[in-house]
């Protein structure tokens, strides 16, 4: 009689064994093995520690990594922590401690908890974004961006909270500060930006090279917001010109006014000629007070102000129209000016209504008496133009081309591609981030720190809370600020802004390839060995921005010859949330949280791992239930207890078919991230083994390998008990295709589309044979009361007999 299944005991034993034997440490090259890079997003090590969400993705992706290893791949499956950023700083401020202390403590507990799940990470490659020898390279890369004209200091607007100072976009919720809830406003400030817009085109177009989920690609495209159109010059009657960008050049004959962004510099140039300047100034002031949120909130009333005394001239017909400023026009997009065609654009329509401006319909086929006949509607309808001189009667698509050609020929327009995406504001006026390694010299301007002086480390300080004047807390530390210009040696000031939380996470996957390299961020050989990442798993919340930043970062490094690929990730997947038993998101306040450690102590890590895989479709959210966990514990106990049913002289072939079928199913399911059905296939196999009443050693070994990706402790232990050798040295079983071919199959038979019976037929039976077998079956033949008019036979699937 075998011992009882005691998960807690065996799990500790094997975790210790894996750690001591460095079982999952991996070399960059192994003779005769193909490399594969499997990546999970490195977590922020919060003080609360591991939560269920981590367990779900870590254990599922670990199952994939373990399976790939047994399939003979050399697998890189690393782990690290992303401890820079706002969250750590806030926790530190709350606890009145230094972020450095908090982070060190949290990382340790986090790692211990992760190890308790028996994950097959290569612990020798662990990195942490706030370690000096890591962020040294983040800083080094910033300098490369700068040297190549991709980083520059720009005057930009920042979110400003009267209490907390400068806020990151993610700290502003509905126009309010997420901490003190006061109204935020916009303030102008010189900030470092990375010129991501230069890569807009490639970031959009190169998505075809990737295998991301459709909605992930879509939101990348959405964020990039590429739109192709025409930029057209408009003369101002009173002198000067300005340009507008439009994607609907076909509506140009419908222009009845123009709108400029309030901040547009042209307005200043026209000051002399504007007869209501005071009114204009007042409007500009009130617009400046509004936050970005107020400005971009949809469905609010259009506001604006006429520039009295100013007319613009439509280049197609010389028509003079009034010019307005209005805050629905954004200075940062396009040219900060629009042509207004109220009949065919809803915003222009509302604006025209408010100011009593006429509307000219130029696209036929819609009604403009209530609202605009906009491009979303007319583009799909093959409409024709009206009121458009020589273009009247041509179709929209022809007119688009013809009008553009005419204007381009006349030299007043050109094709243009615009992006919604802005450059990446890279400065934070915060303490807990990588210092930006730049120095401002009175003679040389902005110059990078000498590379041999990196890293520029964060000074340990007493106070690091955000300052009230909006400058970085580092700015008040004299020893940090004062320095010498690396070029001319003059007294100079160091940049005191730090990098955003996204910085370290934009390249950490490169560092994993060569984490201890002290002379470069990673060697070319190491990067070539592993990149691109074959599968990358991470949370849904920050997928869009993180992927965009990381892709941009890698493209820059690729152009500089540092990285061998221009797309870092082949495939991106996301796990669904684990919800509380009440179906709501697990949270402290809802009191529905479940601590994974408690569950591990109660049932063992293997049971939790299996349950996290079985709980549901991987990408969908799933509700927690302890009963489900119990069921998985039961499965493992049943597998353990099979030790009693081994019989070596067992000659039966009864399990042959189902065993091979299960191997095939589990293999393909893990490959396609259908972990839940992989587990159910194993359950079916185990049920069948119990029904048959015994199995051979070899069959048991196969079962243990299949479940071993999910329950590695159990399989390791039973391998040892059964003298199967070391589990990590096992090979993934190869299913026997011929065993899956049955001589005889069960075929459903329908009469008039209704299943009336199931008959056993030879697998290769033809239609004639099958029909005659069906007719011999009295359960079926009793329905054939009239003459057969049609027979549909799909081999191995169905027989449908139509009678009439």
Partner RNA sequence: GCUGAUGUGGCGAAAUAGGCAGACGCAAGGGACUUAAAAUCCCUCGGGGCGAAAUCUCCGUGUCGGUUCAAGUCCGACCAUCAGCACCA
Footprint of RNA on 373-432 (CB under 7 A):
376, 418, 420
Which three-class secondary structure state does DSSP give residue 176? strand
| CB closer to RNA, 76 vs 749 | 749
Q: How far is the CB of 694 from RNA (least distance, A)?
A: 14
Cα 265 to Cα 69, 312, 335, 513: the distances in Å are 61, 16, 11, 49
Q: List strand residue ranges (DSSP E) for 428-534, in order.
A: 438-441, 445-448, 482-484, 491-494
- By CB under 7 A, residue 753 contacts RNA: yes
**Site for RNA contains 551 (CB under 7 A):** no
Non-local (6+) Cβ contacts of 668 within 8 A are: none
Whole-angstrom Cα distance, residue 176 to residue 294? 11
Smallest gap, in angstroms, from Cβ of residue 504 to RNA?
21
The reply to whether 511 sits near RNA by the rule CB under 7 A is: no
Candidates 43, 44, 155; CA nearest to 91 is 44
Enter the tokens of residue 128. 């942490």
Q: How far is the CB of 19 from RNA (least distance, A)?
A: 31
The rounded distance, in Å, linking the Cα atoms of 657 and 761 is 18
Interaction between residue 7 and RNA (CB under 7 A): no
- Is 104 or 331 the residue whose CB approaches RNA more closely? 331
**Of 236 and 338, which CB lies nearer to RNA in the complex structure?**
338
Where does this chain touch RNA (CB under 7 A) — which range of 152-160, 241-249, 433-441, 650-658?
241-249
Our CB check for RNA shows the closer of 435 and 604 to be 604
CB of 680 to RNA, least distance (A): 4
In angstroms, the CA 583 to CA 586 distance is: 9
- Could you say whether residue 60 binds RNA (CB under 7 A)? no
Closer residue to RNA, CB minimum distance, 31 or 376: 376
- 319 and 255 in contact (C-beta within 8 Å)? yes
Q: Shortest approach of RNA to residue 798 CB, angstroms?
A: 4
At 32, give phi and psi (nearest 5°).
Answer: 80, 5
State which of positions 721-750 bind RNA (CB under 7 A). 746, 748, 750
| Shortest Cβ 549–RNA spacing (Å) | 13
Nearest approach in angstroms of CB 690 to RNA is 5
Query: Any contact of residue 355 with RNA (CB under 7 A)?
Result: no
Residue from 222, 457, 656, 772 in contact with RNA (CB under 7 A): 222
When asked if residue 180 is in the footprint of RNA (CB under 7 A), the reply is no
How are beta strands 578-579 and 622-623 bridged, if at all? Answer: parallel
Sketch the per residue contact string, 599 through 618, with RNA: x for CB under 7 A, - otherwise: ---------------xxxx-
**What is the C-alpha separation between 47 and 538, in angstroms, rounded?**
20
- Residue 476 DSSP one-character state: G
Chain centre to alpha carbon of residue 649: 53
366 binds RNA (CB under 7 A): no
Does residue 804 interact with RNA by CB under 7 A?
A: no
295-326 b/e (C-beta count within 10 Å ≥ 16 → b): beeeeeebbbbbbebbbbebbbeeeebbbbbb
Does 347 participate in binding RNA (rule CB under 7 A)?
A: yes
Contact (Cβ atoms closer than 8 angstroms) between residue 214 and residue 318? no
Pick the closer one to RNA by CB: 205 or 620. 620
Tell whether residue 196 is a contact of RNA (CB under 7 A): no
Smallest distance, RNA to C-beta of residue 783, A: 7
Nearest distance, CB of residue 297 and RNA, angstroms:
6
Q: Is the Cβ of residue 480 or residue 552 nearer to RNA in the bound state?
A: 552
Q: Residue 734 gets which letter from DSSP?
A: P
3-state SS assignment for residue 382 = coil
Exactly one of 755, 760, 772, 776 binds RNA (CB under 7 A); which one?
Answer: 755
Contact between 520 and RNA per CB under 7 A = no
Q: Among 370, 367, 395, 369, which residue's Cα sits nearest to residue 380?
A: 395
Q: Which of 541, 601, 744, 764 binds RNA (CB under 7 A)?
A: 541
Tokens representing 537 are 């798993």
What is the footprint of RNA within residues 201-220 (CB under 7 A)? 214-215, 218-219
Residue number, 231 or 514, with CB nearest to RNA: 231
800 scored as a contact of RNA (CB under 7 A): yes
Measured from the CB of residue 784, what is the shortest distance to RNA in angstroms?
A: 13
In whole angstroms, the minimum distance from the beta carbon of 333 to RNA comes to 4
- Using CB under 7 A, which residues numbered 445 to 504 contact RNA? none
Residue 175 within binding range of RNA, rule CB under 7 A: no
* Subset of 285-344 contacting RNA (CB under 7 A): 295-298, 300, 302-303, 327-330, 333-336, 338-339
Q: Which is nearer to RNA, 472 or 662 (CB)?
A: 662
Beta strands in 619-743, from DSSP E residues, in sequence order: 622-623
State in angstroms the smallest separation of the CB of 487 from RNA: 39
Identify the bridge partners of residue 802 per DSSP, sorted by sequence position.
790
Residues 254-273 that bind RNA (CB under 7 A): 261
The smaller minimum CB distance to RNA, of residues 20 and 743, is found at 743
What is the Cα–Cα distance from 482 to 441, expressed in whole angstroms? 11
Q: For residues 191 and 246, which CB has a smaller minimum distance to RNA in the complex?
A: 246
CB of 560 to RNA, least distance (A): 29
The residue assigned the tokens 């109660």 is 602
Core vs surface per residue 465-494: b (16+ CB within 10 A) or e: ebbeebbbbbbebeebbebebbeeeeebbb
Query: Which region, judged by CB under 7 A, interacts with RNA, from 125-133, 178-186, 405-413, 536-544?
Result: 536-544
Please enumerate in sequence order all residues whose Cβ is within 8 A of that of 121, keeping only pairs 6 or more positions apart, or say none. 24, 77, 78, 79, 114
Closest CA to 454 of 783, 118, 802, 134: 134
538/546 Cα distance (integer angstroms) = 10
593 contacts RNA (rule: CB under 7 A): no
Q: CB neighbours of 3 closer than 8 A, spacing ≥ 6?
A: none
C-alpha to C-alpha distances, 386 to 383, 488, 539, 665, nearest whole angstrom: 10, 67, 51, 62
Q: By CB under 7 A, is residue 521 in contact with RNA?
A: no
Site for RNA in 620-649 (CB under 7 A): 620, 622-623, 625, 627-628, 630-631, 634, 637-638
Q: Of how many residues is the chain composed?
A: 804
Binding residue count for RNA, defined by CB under 7 A: 81
For 324, list phi and psi in degrees, rounded to 5: -125, 165
CA angle 146, 148, 153 (to 5 degrees): 35
- Burial (0-12, 13-18, 19+ Cβ within 10 Å), 382: exposed
- Choose between 110 and 611: whose C-beta lies nearer to RNA: 611
Residues 682-711 within binding reach of RNA (CB under 7 A):
683-684, 687, 690-691
Applying CB under 7 A, does 43 fall inside the site for RNA? no
The answer to whether 771 contacts RNA (rule: CB under 7 A) is no
CB 394 to RNA: min, Å: 19
From the CB of 625, what's the least distance to RNA, in Å? 6
The verdict on 354 binding RNA (CB under 7 A) reads no
> Strand, helix or coil at 792?
strand
For residue 468, the minimal CB distance to RNA (Å) is: 29
Nearest residue (CB) to RNA, 45 versus 334: 334
């Amino acid at each position: 009689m075998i011992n009882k299944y005691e998960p807690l005991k065996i799990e500790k034993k094997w975790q210790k064994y894996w750690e001591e034997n460095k079982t999952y440490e991996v070399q960059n090259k192994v003779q005769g093995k193909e490399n594969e890079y499997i990546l999970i997003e490195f977590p922020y090590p919060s003080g609360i520690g591991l939560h269920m969400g981590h367990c779900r993705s870590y254990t599922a992706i670990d199952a994939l990594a373990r399976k790939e290893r047994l399939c003979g791949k050399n697998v890189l499956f690393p782990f690290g922590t992303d401890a820079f950023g706002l969250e750590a700083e806030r926790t530190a401020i709350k606890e009145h401690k230094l972020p450095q202390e908090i982070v060190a403590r949290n990382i340790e507990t986090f790692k211990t908890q992760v190890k308790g799940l028996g994950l097959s990470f290569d612990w020798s490659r662990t990195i942490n974004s706030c370690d000096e020898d890591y962020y040294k390279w983040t800083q080094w890369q910033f300098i490369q961006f700068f040297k190549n004209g991709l980083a520059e200091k720009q005057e930009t607007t920042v979110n400003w909270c009267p209490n907390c100072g400068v806020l990151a976009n993610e700290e502003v919720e509905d126009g309010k500060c997420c901490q003190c809830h006061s109204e935020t406003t916009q303030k102008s400030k010189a900030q470092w930006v990375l010129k991501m817009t230069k890569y807009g085109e490639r970031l959009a177009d190169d998505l075809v090279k990737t295998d991301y989920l459709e909605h992930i690609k879509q939101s990348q495209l959405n964020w990039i917001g590429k739109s192709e159109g025409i930029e057209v010059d408009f003369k101002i009657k009173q002198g000067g010109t300005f340009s507008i960008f439009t994607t609907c050049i076909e509506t140009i004959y419908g222009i009845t006014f123009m709108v400029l962004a309030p901040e547009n510099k042209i307005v200043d140039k026209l000051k002399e000629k504007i007869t209501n300047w005071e009114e204009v100034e007042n409007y500009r002031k009130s617009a400046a007070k509004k936050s970005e949120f107020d400005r971009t909130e949809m469905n609010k009333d259009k506001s604006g102000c006429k520039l009295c005394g100013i007319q613009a001239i439509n280049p197609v017909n010389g028509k003079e129209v009034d010019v307005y400023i209005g805050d629905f026009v954004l200075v940062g997009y396009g040219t900060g000016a629009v042509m207004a065609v109220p009949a065919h654009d809803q915003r222009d329509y509302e604006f025209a209504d408010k100011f009593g401006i006429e509307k000219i319909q130029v696209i036929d086929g819609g009604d403009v008496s209530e609202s605009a006949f906009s491009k979303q509607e007319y583009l799909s309808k093959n409409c024709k133009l009206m009121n458009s001189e020589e273009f009247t009667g041509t179709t929209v698509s022809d007119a688009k081309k013809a009008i553009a050609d005419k204007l381009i020929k006349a030299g007043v327009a050109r094709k243009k591609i615009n992006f919604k995406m802005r450059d990446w504001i890279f400065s934070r006026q915060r303490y807990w981030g990588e210092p930006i390694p730049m120095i401002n010299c009175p003679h040389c301007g902005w110059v990078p720190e000498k590379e041999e002086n990196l890293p520029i480390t964060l000074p340990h300080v007493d106070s690091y809370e955000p300052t009230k004047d909006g400058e970085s807390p580092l700015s008040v530390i004299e020893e940090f600020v004062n320095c010498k210009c690396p070029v001319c040696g003059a007294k100079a000031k160091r940049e005191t802004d730090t990098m955003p939380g996204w910085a370290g996470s934009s390249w950490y996957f490169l560092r994993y390839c060569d984490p201890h390299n002290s002379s470069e961020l990673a060697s070319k050989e190491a990067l070539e060995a592993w990149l691109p990442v074959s599968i990358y798993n991470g949370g849904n919340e920050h997928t869009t921005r993180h992927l965009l930043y990381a892709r941009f970062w890698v493209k820059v490094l690729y152009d500089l010859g540092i990285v061998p690929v221009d797309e870092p990730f082949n495939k991106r997947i996301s796990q669904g949330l684990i919800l509380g038993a009440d179906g709501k998101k697990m949270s402290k306040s809802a009191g529905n949280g479940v601590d994974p450690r408690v569950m591990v102590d109660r049932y063992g890590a293997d049971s939790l791992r299996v349950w996290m895989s079985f709980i549901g479709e991987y990408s969908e959210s799933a509700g927690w239930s302890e009963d489900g966990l119990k069921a998985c514990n039961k499965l493992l106990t049943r597998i353990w207890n099979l030790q009693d049913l081994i019989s070596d002289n067992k000659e039966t072939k009864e399990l042959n078919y189902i065993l091979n079928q299960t191997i095939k199913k589990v293999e393909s399911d893990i490959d396609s991230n259908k972990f839940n059905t992989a587990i159910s296939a194993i359950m079916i196999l185990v049920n069948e083994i119990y029904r048959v009443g015994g199995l051979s050693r070899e069959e048991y070994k196969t079962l243990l390998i299949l479940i071993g990706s999910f329950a590695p402790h159990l399989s390791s232990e039973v391998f040892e008990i059964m003298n199967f050798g070391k589990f990590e040295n096992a090979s993934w079983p190869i299913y026997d295709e011929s065993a899956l071919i049955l001589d005889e199959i069960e075929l459903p038979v329908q009469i008039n589309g209704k299943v009336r019976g199931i008959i056993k037929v030879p697998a290769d039976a033809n239609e004639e044979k099958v029909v005659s077998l069906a007719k011999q079956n009295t359960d079926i033949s009793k329905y054939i009361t009239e003459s057969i008019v049609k027979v549909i036979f799909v081999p191995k699937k169905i027989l449908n007999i139509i009678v009439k």
